[in-house]
């Protein structure tokens, strides 16, 4: 959430930043309510001053045993005015907050200007694309041929965009989860196993609500949401808390199942493991001091990238342009892995800095030299498990349909070197 004071004092800066994101948002109504609110606060304070003064005058008259009826009546009128002012203030506060919750974060100055993904910037590429002496297949066909991926049964059980993993497919998914967790534990993260259902307050804190409710699965009976990403419970761990400067940065890693309606993706990526309603992911979340957050974002990217390197998967790091940023992000790097069967790059991780945007929504502060300041939050996938599995199947496939297991993953596959 943006700071209303910053919006008020730096309106042109905010409007220009929103334009860079491709947002056409008028701040007129918000700032009008803000002006009215500040005037109302002054009016309410004046009323309370008059109330206190009148109360003192009533006390003096009563001590003198003189008639205070007129002042008492005046006091009641002032109290009614205060009550009305407080109610108007409450309504204005709700209106202002509702508007602020719909405003996206402002892009960091280091984010390249651009309208869409075509203008994202390739930062670096790692690994060579494998040359095949046969036509490489797509992961869904490889998985079906090995009888480890079953999309028909998944659809029978739950509908479209659900996958059933069998045998070595289920083992590979579990192996990847444990492998990814172990990589990050060795890099200093603390493991969390959070609930997969959260309150609306938690969803609002990270920015999924109110803007993206259509994308969420909700249990109306319990007023709980299935998480779309582990970012939600992890970042809400310290909601309404004051952290110690000595404890920062805090780094957490978690495995979670994730649930997304994919409401805006009809007809897109309907095949395979790329865009399912339910999928597994390893999430990385950091809480940092503002000064440290730029470097911590670079560290976060390297932590996620290490998984791809250890799995020997060719990949590239992309810096998103202003027009491709997520709602809450100030700066985002995507990790994209090469898919030889599809002959295209696929995102397996987004690593983002939110500056104090989420911390303001969740009221997460830290104490520094006696002052309270908002922390900066960062998160990234380390990695999306299903997409990583898809990349492994395509990059390590053999002509006969079998799939090699990269050496780093073999201990997690009970020593197996081959899926056949």
Q: Are 72 and 58 in contact (CB under 8 A)?
A: yes
Q: How far apart are CA 319 and CA 198, in angstroms?
A: 31
Report CA torsion sign: 365, 285, 336, 390: negative
The single residue listed with the structure tokens 């009641």 is: 76
Decide if 260 is catalytic: yes
68's tokens: 């205070």
Beta pairing class for 250-259 and 190-192: parallel
Q: Are 317 and 380 in contact (CB under 8 A)?
A: no
* Catalytic residue (one of 293, 350, 353, 381): 350
* Catalytic residue (one of 23, 262, 347, 373): 347
* Catalytic residue (one of 174, 275, 402, 410): 275
Q: How far apart are CA 84 and CA 44, in angstroms?
A: 9
* Catalytic residue (one of 352, 381, 387, 394): 387
Decide if 202 is catalytic: no
Decide if 367 is catalytic: no
Decide if 350 is catalytic: yes
The single residue listed with the structure tokens 């490889």 is: 142
Q: How far apart are CA 374 and CA 365, in angstroms?
A: 4
Q: Which region holds residue 203: left if phi is over 0, alpha if psi is between -120 and 50, else beta? A: alpha
Beta bridge partners of 377: 287
Q: How far apart are CA 279 and CA 310, in angstroms?
A: 22
Q: How far apart are CA 165 and CA 198, in angstroms?
A: 27
69's tokens: 């009826």
Q: How many CB atoms lie within 10 A of CB 62?
A: 13
Q: How far apart are CA 40 and CA 309, in angstroms?
A: 59
Give the Å distances, CA to CA, from 256 to 163, 210, 259.
Answer: 16, 22, 10
Q: Are 327 and 207 in contact (CB under 8 A)?
A: yes
Residues with a known catalytic role: 260, 275, 347, 350, 387
């Amino acid at each position: 959430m943006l700071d209303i004071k910053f919006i008020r004092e730096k309106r042109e800066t905010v409007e220009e930043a929103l334009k860079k994101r491709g947002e056409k948002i008028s701040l007129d109504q918000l700032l009008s309510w803000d002006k009215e609110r500040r005037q109302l606060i002054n009016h309410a304070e004046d009323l309370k001053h008059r109330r206190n003064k009148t109360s003192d005058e009533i006390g003096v008259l009563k001590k003198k045993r003189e008639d205070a009826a007129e002042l008492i009546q005046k006091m009641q009128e002032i109290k009614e005015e205060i009550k009305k002012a407080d109610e108007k203030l409450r309504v204005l506060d709700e209106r202002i907050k509702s508007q602020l919750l719909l405003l996206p974060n402002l892009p960091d100055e280091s984010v390249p200007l651009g309208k869409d993904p075509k203008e994202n910037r390739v930062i670096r590429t790692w690994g060579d694309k494998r040359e095949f002496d046969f036509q490489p297949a797509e992961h869904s066909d490889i998985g079906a041929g090995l009888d480890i991926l079953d999309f028909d049964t998944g659809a029978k059980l739950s509908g479209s965009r659900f996958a059933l993993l069998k045998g070595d497919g289920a083992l590979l998914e579990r192996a990847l989860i444990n492998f990814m967790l172990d990589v990050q534990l060795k890099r200093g993260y603390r493991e969390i196993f959070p609930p997969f259902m959260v309150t609306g307050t938690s969803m609002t804190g990270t920015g999924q609500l109110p803007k993206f409710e259509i994308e969420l699965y909700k249990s109306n009976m319990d007023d709980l949401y299935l998480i779309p990403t582990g970012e939600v419970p992890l970042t809400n761990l310290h909601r309404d808390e004051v952290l110690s400067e000595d404890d920062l940065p805090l780094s957490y890693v978690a495995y979670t199942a994730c649930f997304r309606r994919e409401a805006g993706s009809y007809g897109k990526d309907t095949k395979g493991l790329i865009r399912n309603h339910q999928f597994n992911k390893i999430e990385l979340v950091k809480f940092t001091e503002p000064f440290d957050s730029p470097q911590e974002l670079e560290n976060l990217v390297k932590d996620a990238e290490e998984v791809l390197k250890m799995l020997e998967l060719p990949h590239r790091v992309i810096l998103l342009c202003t027009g491709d940023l997520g709602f809450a992000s100030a700066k985002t790097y995507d990790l994209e892995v090469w898919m030889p069967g599809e002959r295209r790059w696929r995102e397996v991780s987004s690593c983002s800095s939110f500056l104090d945007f989420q911390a303001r929504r969740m009221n997460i502060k830290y104490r520094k030299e006696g002052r309270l300041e908002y922390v900066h939050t960062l998160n990234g996938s380390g990695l999306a498990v299903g997409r990583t599995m898809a990349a492994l199947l395509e990059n390590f496939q053999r002509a006969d349909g079998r799939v090699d297991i990269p050496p780093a993953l073999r201990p997690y596959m009970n020593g197996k070197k081959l899926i056949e």
